Amino acid sequence: MPSGFVIRKNQYYDSVFLMGISKRIADVPGVQRNAVLMGSETNKRLLADIDICDPQIDAAQPNDLVVAVIAETQQIVNDVLRRLDEFLLGGVQVASTSNPHSFEEGLAQKSNANLAVISVPGEYAAREARKALEAGLNVFLFSDNVSIDEELDLKQFAAEKKLLVMGPDCGTSLIGGIGIGFANVVRKGSIGAIGAAGTGLQEFTSQVHNAGFGISHAIGTGGHDLSDQIGGLTTLAALEALEADPATRVITIISKPPGTKTLARLIERFKTCTKPIIGCFLGAPAKPHETGANFQCAPTIDEAVWLAIRALGGEPDSNKADFSTEERQWIGREKASWSPEQKYVRGIFAGGTFCYQSQQIFRDAGILVYSNAPLEAKNKLRDSDQSLEHTFVDMGSDEYTLGKPHPMIDGTLRKQRILTESRDPQIAILLLDFILGYNASMDPVGELFDAILEARQNVKKRGGNLTVVASVCGTDGDPQDLNLQIKLLKEAGAIVFRSNAKAASFCCELLK
């Protein structure tokens, strides 16, 4: 039987430790016997007993390590002896009880990681993202306050390395059914999505789910990706990946309008895409973009959902855009309840996309709306805290969230604003959005419930009625109980829609 040995001079190990090493060597396939011992006289006799004899072994000292292996082939013997350090060192890393504190330490724990989710302060975010890219990981960059230059730099580097940078300021992605960041529980399917805004993607994916269809992947890009400075680097990478992805059959892109150059570049790319593409560029002028054989435009997220389903050969409920008879009856009932000075709608939004999409719907209905995040600069509120006529406030904008929790996580900011609005005698409609899903508040309606009741009470005291219109973005699979959230809203007297577009349209109907 082939055998061999090595002697390490002056390498003392405890005998119990060496027994452990011996056991590990014994587990190597083909190893018959082995001895891992210090060179004491007793031990040398043990070696002789298994026919391992050599003048070098006779000369070994009690502080010398002797390792002998008997195996089926000489190659196994040599291999084990060559790998001795692995056996001696292996499996005895200093185990850590606390979490790692740096990307490198994290990577050391999961060297096969393929995605870094980064939510560190913006000033450090680009460095961490770059480290992740260097290590070959895709990046989901939730952090904001990353400069355009840094973003471009990261995205160019990612393009070189054929990696994806979702973000910065990316709130939502769904990869193969897994929600990252703020995401709803959505069934898997064949609709792919690329989105600049988190709530836009949440609304789209939830509605696809609620319509009985599913999402392959929804890839967040961050809000600046389609600007001409960035040139849609992530959108293009995502498009290529979704085109190559066997699970995806149709691709929807949801964003604010792209920069002129970037739009041209996108449309050029769409022409060669082998899968149908639906573009939903919120806030874009009402006239349709250039379309092509495989490129259609949707003015709202709802319509993007319908187009995507149609592209799969499905048929969404044809009356989706219309209001039910019951809903139509509510319009008359609500309007009749207002006192003469009640004229305006106040939208107090948690989701930026919802604020934006609602403005577009009002614009297209010919109603002027002011906002802290307006479609056009001329409609910007002079003071974000002071509503003017019809006003939609994005409570998730930086001015409100600096050092305070985002309204999707905590209702405090919106609660205060709702009560303030209710003291304005001209308010007729309160338009709200509620967003469910991972990482959002576990009880978004409950947090505002008392404020809604109190607001309605305030208006009632003045002899009028506050019409509360709400949309809920979520699915029956979300960690929050969707039905309970809707039930609570109805208890608070709200008219509830499952889409923001529909809630906003309903408000337009109320104002006609």
Cβ contacts of residue 227 below 8 Å, gap of 6+?
A: 148, 258, 259, 262
Q: Considering the complex, what minimum distance in angstroms separates the CB of residue 111 from other proteins? A: 10
3-state percent helix, strand, coil for the chain, nearest multiple of 5: 40, 20, 40
Residue 88 is which amino acid? L
Q: Which parts of 470-489 interact with other proteins (CB under 8 A)?
A: 479
Between 118 and 451, whose beta carbon lies closer to other proteins? 118
- What b/e string do you get for 192-202 counting C-beta neighbours within 10 Å, with b at 16 or more? bbbbbbbbbbb
What's the count of helices (H) and strands (E) in the chain, helices before strands? 19, 19
**Contact (CB, 8 A) for 184 and 209:** yes
**Contact (CB, 8 A) for 280 and 254:** yes
Select from 131-139, 262-270, 314-322, 414-422 the region that touches other proteins (CB under 8 A): 131-139
Between 82 and 161, whose beta carbon lies closer to other proteins? 161
Identify the CA nearest to 200 among candidates 289, 281, 260, 144.
Answer: 281
Between 76 and 186, whose beta carbon lies closer to other proteins? 186
Tell me if 418 contacts other proteins by CB under 8 A.
Answer: no
Q: Which parts of 199-238 interact with other proteins (CB under 8 A)?
A: 216-217, 237-238
Tell me if 388 contacts other proteins by CB under 8 A.
Answer: no
List, in sequence order, every beta strand (DSSP E) within 53-158: 65-71, 115-118, 138-141
Tell me if 132 contacts other proteins by CB under 8 A.
Answer: yes
DSSP 379: G
Tell me if 136 contacts other proteins by CB under 8 A.
Answer: yes
Q: Which parts of 11-30 interact with other proteins (CB under 8 A)?
A: 11-14, 17, 20
Q: Which parts of 354-383 interact with other proteins (CB under 8 A)?
A: none
Tell me if 244 contacts other proteins by CB under 8 A.
Answer: yes
For 333, the token pair is 């009932």
Between 12 and 271, whose beta carbon lies closer to other proteins? 12
Q: How many Å separate Cα 499 from the centre of its chain?
A: 20
Cβ contacts of residue 278 below 8 Å, gap of 6+?
A: 250, 251, 252, 253, 295, 296, 297, 298, 304, 307, 308, 311
Tell me if 161 contacts other proteins by CB under 8 A.
Answer: yes
Between 116 and 375, whose beta carbon lies closer to other proteins? 116
Select from 24-32, 49-57, 100-108, 279-287 the region that touches other proteins (CB under 8 A): 100-108
Q: Considering the complex, what minimum distance in angstroms separates the CB of residue 154 from other proteins? A: 14
Size of the site for other proteins (CB under 8 A): 72
Between 161 and 333, whose beta carbon lies closer to other proteins? 161
DSSP 378: G
**Contact (CB, 8 A) for 504 and 470:** no
Tell me if 99 contacts other proteins by CB under 8 A.
Answer: yes
Q: Considering the complex, what minimum distance in angstroms separates the CB of residue 305 from other proteins? A: 21
Tell me if 113 contacts other proteins by CB under 8 A.
Answer: yes
**Contact (CB, 8 A) for 269 and 239:** yes
For 371, the token pair is 């906002």
Between 114 and 329, whose beta carbon lies closer to other proteins? 114
Select from 137-145, 221-229, 297-305, 441-449 the region that touches other proteins (CB under 8 A): 137-145
For 347, the token pair is 């939208």
When binding is defined by CB under 8 A, the residue of 70, 76, 77, 116 that contacts other proteins is 116
Tell me if 439 contacts other proteins by CB under 8 A.
Answer: yes
DSSP 2: -
Tell me if 114 contacts other proteins by CB under 8 A.
Answer: yes
Select from 149-157, 162-170, 352-360, 495-503 the region that touches other proteins (CB under 8 A): 162-170
**Contact (CB, 8 A) for 170 and 251:** no
For 113, the token pair is 């990681």
Between 93 and 324, whose beta carbon lies closer to other proteins? 93
Between 2 and 477, whose beta carbon lies closer to other proteins? 477
Q: Which parts of 40-79 interact with other proteins (CB under 8 A)?
A: 63
When binding is defined by CB under 8 A, the residue of 410, 426, 438, 446 that contacts other proteins is 438
Tell me if 118 contacts other proteins by CB under 8 A.
Answer: yes
Tell me if 89 contacts other proteins by CB under 8 A.
Answer: yes
Distance CA 305, CA 112 (A): 35
Distance CA 8, CA 62 (A): 11
Distance CA 263, CA 270 (A): 10
Tell me if 405 contacts other proteins by CB under 8 A.
Answer: no
Between 105 and 317, whose beta carbon lies closer to other proteins? 105
> Scanning the structure block, which residue is given the tokens 């109980």?
481
